[in-house]
Chain A
Amino acid sequence: MSGPRIACLYLPLFPLAARLRSEPELLREAVVVTEGNGNAARVVAGTRLARESGIKPGHTLPQARALCPKLVARPRDEDCERTAQEALLEVAESFSPRVEDEGDGVAYLGVEGLDRHFKGETPERSLGCSLLAAADKAGFPARVGIASSKLAARVAAGLPGSPVVVPEGEEADFLAPLPLARLAPEVDLAATLESWGVRSVGDFARLPRERVSSRLGRVGRELHATARGLDSRPLIPREPPQVFHEGMNLEWPLVSLEPFLFVGRAALERLCERLESAGLACQRLGLELRLEPDGHQTRTIDLPAPTRDVKTLLTLLRLSLEEQQPGAPVAGFTLLAWPDRPREAQLSMYGPTALPPDKLATTLARLFALLGPDRVGSPRAVDGHRPERFALVEYAPPPPPEVRREPRTGRGLLAVRVLRPPLGLEVISVISDGQPQEVRTIVSDESEKRPRIEGHVKIASGPWGLEEGWWTEDPVGREYWDVELATGGIYRIYRERASGEWFADGIYD
């Protein structure tokens, strides 16, 4: 193959196909998509059931309802169409990196050289069949045409018996029997050609080029070249998108959360499928709400790690909506996903197995939703000596060692169970050296849920001084004691030097 080969992925009745992708439960109904308001709304496209009832594009909605009383009518939805177009382009991009967005359910992709990847006598036809299968998997009843020019590919895609392959150099012969309307000439030009008795593309192509040029001008010359199979328009590849969108306008504004999450879940599933087909995951999730009667709200949820787990994303969405309610009925929504590469795991042959990054990311996101971000993470010690202080950082374990280390022998060290926050105590102590003699938890509403410490002190050891931040306005000065109670248990208690109050902040355990 010497010249360029272009495949056209075409979605007939695009407004309807986009709507049915968002509402797949309507697939078996008589559905029309309308444009306009109220009774003046006109049918743009309808399902087979609707067409069999006699409904045609251009009918008003009352006319259509008269023909089919059970008709389901939906207005055109820009969001649905935009996301369907994006999804169609992503299907094309799974075959070729050079994809042009023509809009309205049409995508062109450069396929020269791709035939080497397909077996059979007609590799290009196999390629077309694969394209159709991929589109079908994404929920699109698409058609495919393959030719050497965009126009021929587009015309081929519009014909039945998809995929239609036009061999290289045979574009003119392929277009010749087709009616001239396929070239979509301007209205004036079409009327002139009609008056000349030119009906088909072939009739027009046979006219002498110079005569056509002198009589019909630049537009006529270009149309004549097109009729002869010469399409000079190059393929203009699109830039890969930075954000994935998925959304729709709702038929009725929603006021409660559950119905919204029901619709949102389907949209999230579609979004995650698209991310998966691109080998990406969602690093940041956005939600744009269109509110009744006039307003909008935007929110974003940062994820601890890229994920495409629908359940996790839906839980985070639910929590965000419960925390910050929209405050008005929701008339439409758009979900936005900022993509990132999912984390990869390096398998180890001799060392411990690493945690699967995608599972870990999903788990962390769900734990964030369950416990809150301030209760999940990797602990870190903080500079200073107060034992109740700590820091939490994002959990990102280093890769395991290449070779498993030998386990260290146990040192049998006694640990302290920190009481956080410290537990207020009543203490009877010796006046001379402050040694505690008897301790008892201060009773309060909160202390019901905390450990109770009560009893005579059998042995006390201390005081151990702790001083921190003496140069600040809030210095800490404590006198620590290790006490063993007659009732059992070894505790770490302290007296605040400033206030003289006693607290227990640890149990030796």
Chain B
Amino acid sequence: MVAEPLLRTFEEPEPGADFRPSATGPALRRLRSVLPEDLRRHVRSARELDRGLREARRAESESSLPTAVPALDRLLDGGLPRGQLVELVGSRTSGRFSAVLAALAAATGVGEAAALVDLGDALDPALARDLGVDLQRLLWLRPVNLKQTLAAAEMVLASGFPLVILDLGAPPVRGGRGLEAAWLRIARAAKAHNAALLVSSPYRVSGTAASVVLKAERARAAWQGEGHQVRLLSGAASRLQIEKCRGKLPGQSEDLKLSLSPFPLPPAPSPVPGEGEKTRPTRVQRRERLAAVAGG
């Protein structure tokens, strides 16, 4: 417990006390003695440390959580804004779930805890791990209806999770659209706890509670191989469009390109009857190849 007494010393001085953090004060010496070697050289004076801490805290509270989806980050000016409800609407195969997993991977990758309230029970942990999600930092909740989803989301927001994602699955959503009051409650909880809240839904559900609404168009599949060649799914392309966002015009859009593999696939083999199955890579081989690249 190094930080707490130091912060108290700097931020809450006794009334009337002479508060002058000095460059060689005992608090600074004590702090330096317990800091790791690589951090010690960054701390040069107590005043600078105090200012740095304040700025870091302010920056953290105002910053957004990058999702590592370039199109989404560009539309949201850097990532999911903290303290706001962002609704991502899209039909099946729109890249919605890919964006959810990318956001989870980005947040858990920097060491933040994250919660996924998964109404559709759609998470494949092996795939999530391959996509870069740190499963140890991920709390996975599997509610059975929308009412439970909203109640669970409110609880995890109140416990201080910096990123909470509600995925309502593929339509039909079990529980309809939910009460608008419930959406307002969780939006307020996100604001109170400065958490980024992403709702991924097949249709608009959160009403006026959402600060930002993005729509993902149905994706077009990208296939490798043409005509009678053996086809190989290589990815999908969609488009993200702003429907509602404070300070931005609706209609602004970005292309969302998703690939099944992070490197170009080899040319598809020619169709030779009876030999095609033997030369094709199995699903397991594809996954292993994907995992090898994602892990690197």
Q: Which residues of A contact B (CB under 8 A)?
A: 346-353, 355-356, 359-360, 362-363, 366-367, 370-371, 375-382, 385, 387-388, 390-392, 395, 397-398, 400-420, 449, 451, 459-461, 463-466, 480, 482, 484, 488-490, 506-509
A350 in contact with B68 (CB, 8 Å): no
A414 in contact with B280 (CB, 8 Å): no
Find B221's partner among A403, A418, A465, A484 (CB 8 Å cutoff).
Answer: A484
B94 in contact with A363 (CB, 8 Å): no
Shortest C-beta distance, A453 to chain B (Å), equals 9
CB closest chain-B residue, reference A399: B111
Shortest C-beta distance, B197 to chain A (Å), equals 16
16 A-B pairs with C-beta separation under 8 A: A352-B113, A371-B141, A371-B152, A378-B139, A390-B124, A390-B126, A398-B137, A408-B109, A410-B68, A411-B132, A411-B294, A413-B258, A414-B95, A414-B258, A507-B97, A509-B93
B283 in contact with A464 (CB, 8 Å): yes
- Distance of A412 Cα from B101 Cα, bound (Å): 10
A359 in contact with B160 (CB, 8 Å): yes
CB closest chain-B residue, reference A407: B66
Give the residues in chain B near A370, CB-CB below 8 Å. Answer: 148, 151-152, 155
Find A404's partner among B4, B110, B120, B144 (CB 8 Å cutoff).
Answer: B110
A418 in contact with B92 (CB, 8 Å): no
- Distance of A389 Cα from B121 Cα, bound (Å): 12
0/1 string, B109-138, CB within 8 A of A gives 1: 111110000001111111111011001111
The count of chain B contact residues (Cβ–Cβ below 8 Å) is: 96
A464 in contact with B280 (CB, 8 Å): yes
Shortest C-beta distance, A420 to chain B (Å), equals 5
Q: Which residues of B contact A (CB under 8 A)?
A: 1-4, 36, 39, 53, 56, 66-70, 73, 91-98, 100-102, 105-106, 109-113, 120-129, 131-132, 135-144, 148, 151-152, 155-156, 158-162, 169-172, 174, 218-219, 221, 223, 230-233, 235-236, 256-262, 277, 280-284, 286-287, 290, 294
Having A371-B143, A507-B170, one finds 20 other A-B pairs with CB under 8 Å, namely A349-B3, A352-B113, A355-B161, A359-B160, A360-B159, A377-B140, A392-B140, A402-B36, A404-B110, A405-B109, A410-B70, A411-B68, A420-B121, A451-B171, A461-B223, A461-B231, A465-B282, A488-B93, A489-B218, A507-B92
- Distance of A489 Cα from B96 Cα, bound (Å): 13
CB closest chain-A residue, reference B36: A402
Shortest C-beta distance, B109 to chain A (Å), equals 5
Find B155's partner among A367, A397, A398, A419 (CB 8 Å cutoff).
Answer: A367
A508 in contact with B233 (CB, 8 Å): yes
A355 in contact with B262 (CB, 8 Å): no
A509 in contact with B98 (CB, 8 Å): yes
CB closest chain-A residue, reference B133: A379
B233 in contact with A416 (CB, 8 Å): no
Give the residues in chain A near B122, CB-CB below 8 Å. Answer: 417-420
Give the residues in chain A near B94, CB-CB below 8 Å. Answer: 509
Find A363's partner among B129, B155, B277 (CB 8 Å cutoff).
Answer: B155
Given contacts A375-B142, A405-B109, A408-B68, contact A385 B284 (CB under 8 A): yes
Find B127's partner among A380, A403, A415 (CB 8 Å cutoff).
Answer: A415
Shortest C-beta distance, A262 to chain B (Å), equals 23
Give the residues in chain A near B256, CB-CB below 8 Å. Answer: 412
5 A-B pairs closest in CB distance: A410-B68, A381-B126, A363-B159, A379-B125, A509-B97
Given contacts A404-B111, A451-B170, contact A417 B120 (CB under 8 A): yes
A387 in contact with B110 (CB, 8 Å): no
